[in-house]
Amino acid sequence: MNADEISTILENIARLLALKGENPFKTRAYLNGARAIEMFAGSLREAAEKNQLGQVEGIGKALAEKISELILTGKMEYYERLREEFPAGILELFELPGLGEKKIKVLHEQLKITGIPKLEEACRDGRIAALPGFGEKTALKLLAAIETRRSTADLFTFGSIASDARAVHQALRDHPAVGQVSPAGSYRRRKEIVHDLDFVASTREPEAVGEYFASLPEVTGIIAQGKTKVSVRLRSGVPCDLRLVSDAEFPFALQYFTGSKEHNVALRQRAMARGWTLNEYRIAPTREDADPIPPMQEEREVYRALGLDYIEPELRENHGELEAAEAHTLPELVQLEHLRGTFHNHTTASDGRDSLRAMAEAAQELGLQYLGIADHSKSSVIANGLNEQRLEAQLKEIDALNAEYRGQFRIFAGTECDIHKDGTLDFDDSLLAQLDYVVASVHVNFTLSEAEQTARIVRALENPHVTMLGHVTGRLLLQRSAYEVNIPAIIDAAARTGTIIELNANPRRLDLDWRWWKNARDKGVLCSINPDAHRTEALQDLWFGVGAARKGWLRREDVLNCLPLNQVIRALAKKRKAAQA
């Protein structure tokens, strides 16, 4: 039972209590408890065993007992009983945007709605629109939400399946009869959203390996099991295919199953021009006068045989990579190892889980030379944003730590400064001028028109103290779409003002989207790959960001945080300096 699972159960309790009409402060106590668990830095099991959960702020005697029971026995009697009082489908109603506890209570009590199917029915037959407090628009909005949910039910963010993918990959590598093995498909191409996970492995014992694969602990169900292909479902819910081929077939199978479909179509056309056919097993001649076929043992050699430089999987979207590979102009893509530091990270001063020192130590353990802190600004009340006094106190704390590090490591003092509705910033220029850098972000007023939203952001970029723009579109993958904004205009404004654009590496964001980066790069906009980490482990989200940057054709020199410490200081100061000149 991990922290996420525990906090979900506490949230569910809060929801069910609200439906029962319990004291709202009691339900909030459960929500606070859920947050406290999420924010807990340490071993929950150990805390439960030592009876120390009650010492955590937000967890009192009652919650400590219930959470301990959950951790130590895997079950919570109170929760089980509570659930029996409601239909099983009631909790899924909370996943629909626009529905909260009050409305669900009305739906349950007045219309006997037990889950999404019944709700859909009631939306269609007019019962929802007729309810007091509801209306025609509410019914339409709910139908739209149900439809969105249906259409994204078989989609997964890259981040949500990455740990499954790593575990399965490692397990396959560990099998003695497996020769070569690699992920393939959209996962290998580092698409931000995937619908399944593919692996290709070479072996002389396909049936034994298939059997082994189907019985891995990550597997929750078998969809199909044949001699050379096994399909299963993994813990995260994602379907996962394994293709078993011979060593000789491996490079072709890997290439074929990595895709994309469009990339492969273009590739097969090139094969055809040489009198060859290319499929998942081999390249073979289709006519007598075909070009001779070179021997190929690696995927790289398949591309070479077709007259192409090796194309990294991330680029295989038929977005110009084949032409570039032929002309030897493919970019040398940025790698995780190139990163020297990172910006936009939070601490306990605002809504982070870990202290400034803990974050700095975690960054050093990752081998980074510097870490930028950017806690929320005062307008982000929910996120416990810092006011001027608290920010100044944090500056002093950072100075003290930097003195301790004696140049071996550097913390950069920044802020994630809210951009107001009119494009002004949450702090005065005089305060911003004291900081090493400023991330400007939109957190409210998502529904402005495209023109207004764009003008708002452009105005923020024109402030000489705004070093970089945070999560440009505010999207949350599979959850919340981007707000309306003219991205080319933003890119132009960033280029004109010398503002860096963030590639938010949080796997739910990956914002700005990879499809824009080649364009931004060509206009001279620098990228900063930022994890937006709210806890030490999340610094490792940088890996997701690097994947997106690679998909966006970014090279080491296009990324701010590939710069070594002495150069990054100059890069951060560049915009302000230019404004003074």
Partner DNA sequence: GCCGTTTTCGGCCCGACTGTTTTCAGTCG
- Residues near DNA (CB under 7 A) are 23, 25-26, 28-30, 32-33, 54, 56-64, 96-104, 129, 132-139, 141, 381-382, 421, 443-445, 447, 480
- Comparing CB distances to DNA, the nearer of 96 and 510 is 96
Question: Would the CA dihedral through 89, 95, 97, 98 be positive or negative?
Answer: positive
Alpha carbons 26 and 440: distance in angstroms, whole number: 37
CB of 16 to DNA, least distance (A): 12
CB of 17 to DNA, least distance (A): 8
- Comparing CB distances to DNA, the nearer of 173 and 421 is 421
Q: How far is CA 427 from CA 71, 269, 460, in A?
A: 44, 57, 12
Q: Which of 313, 312, 304 is nearest to 259 (CA)?
A: 313
Peptide bond into 260 cis (omega under 30): yes
- Comparing CB distances to DNA, the nearer of 381 and 581 is 381
Alpha carbons 10 and 86: distance in angstroms, whole number: 16
Beta partners for 501? 469, 527
> Do the beta carbons of residue 271 and residue 277 sit within 8 Å?
yes
CB of 157 to DNA, least distance (A): 15
- Comparing CB distances to DNA, the nearer of 72 and 578 is 72
Alpha carbons 389 and 105: distance in angstroms, whole number: 43
- Comparing CB distances to DNA, the nearer of 62 and 395 is 62
Q: Which residues contact 104 (CB under 8 A, 6 or more apart)?
A: 15, 19, 90, 93, 94, 113
- Comparing CB distances to DNA, the nearer of 16 and 244 is 16
DSSP code per residue over 388-420: HHHHHHHHHHHHHHHHHHTTSSEEEEEEEEEBP
DSSP category for residue 45? H
Query: Radius of gyration of the chain from Cα atoms?
Result: 27
- Comparing CB distances to DNA, the nearer of 145 and 178 is 145
- Comparing CB distances to DNA, the nearer of 54 and 285 is 54
- Comparing CB distances to DNA, the nearer of 459 and 556 is 459
CB of 145 to DNA, least distance (A): 9
Q: Which residues contact 462 (CB under 8 A, 6 or more apart)?
A: 493, 497
Block residue for tokens 């011979």: 246
CB of 522 to DNA, least distance (A): 33
CB of 15 to DNA, least distance (A): 10
- Comparing CB distances to DNA, the nearer of 33 and 259 is 33
Alpha carbons 330 and 312: distance in angstroms, whole number: 9
- The backbone region for 545, taken as left when phi is positive above 0, alpha when psi lies in -120 to 50, beta otherwise, is alpha
Q: Which of 452, 465, 470, 468 is nearest to 578 (CA)?
A: 465
354 φ/ψ angles, rounded to the nearest 5 degrees: -115, 155
Residues in the chain: 581
CB of 66 to DNA, least distance (A): 8
CB of 131 to DNA, least distance (A): 8
CB of 513 to DNA, least distance (A): 19
CB of 262 to DNA, least distance (A): 33
- Comparing CB distances to DNA, the nearer of 132 and 217 is 132
CB of 4 to DNA, least distance (A): 17
